[in-house]
Copies of this chain bind each other. A is one copy, B any other.
C-alpha cells in the first residue's frame, strides 16, 4: 500500500487538495461535536472557528453559510449502515442495545436529525429532507431484515420498530435513563415474537 515518500500523498492529488480535505474534516468533526452536544442554534460560527483554532474567514471559505455547515453536518451523520451477516432478529434487537450503550457512554443526546428538525422548525429546510431520508432508510433496513426473518407483515412491523427506536432515544433523553433502551428492546421482542420471528437466546442476564 505505502508508495513511499512521494511528493504527493496520492496520485493526482496535490498536497494542497489533501490539506483542504483535512481541513474540511477537522471543521466537520468539530462542528458535529458542538452542534450535536450543544445544539445548532446555541452554537455560533465564531465558536466553531475558535474551537478548531482557525479564523472565521477560513470557515466561510469552506462553507458559504451556517446553513451549508448544518447541511454538511447532517449529511456526514448520514453514514451508511454497516452490513452484517448475523441473524436478522439479532441485528434488530442490537439496534436498541446500541442506542442504550451510546446513551450510557454519554455519547447520545437525542437523534441529530430529529433535533435539527425541532431546532430549525422549518419544514422546507434541507435538514427536514435529510431527516426524512434518514428515517426512511432505517425503516427499509428494518423491513429487509424482517423479510429475511420471514416475519408476518414486515412492512407494518418495520414502522413499529422505528417508532420504538425513536421513542427510546427520546425517552432516554428526557428521563435521563439508559434503561429505557432495554424497555424498548423488550417491546420489540414481544412484537417480533407476535410476528412469528424466532428470537436469539438472551446472551446475558
Interface residues of A (CB under 8 A from B): 37-39, 41-42, 109-111, 113-115, 117-121, 123, 128, 131-132, 135-136, 156, 159-160, 162-168, 170-171, 173-176, 180, 183-184, 186-187, 190-191, 193-194
The minimal Cβ–Cβ distance linking A32 to chain B, given in whole angstroms, is: 15
Question: What's the Cα separation between A82 and B25 when bound, in Å?
Answer: 52
Question: What's the Cα separation between A82 and B167 when bound, in Å?
Answer: 24
Chain A contact surface mostly: helix
Question: What's the Cα separation between A84 and B16 when bound, in Å?
Answer: 69
Chain B residue at smallest Cβ distance from A136: B175
Number of copies: 2
- Measured between beta carbons, the chain B residues less than 8 angstroms from A162 are 167, 171
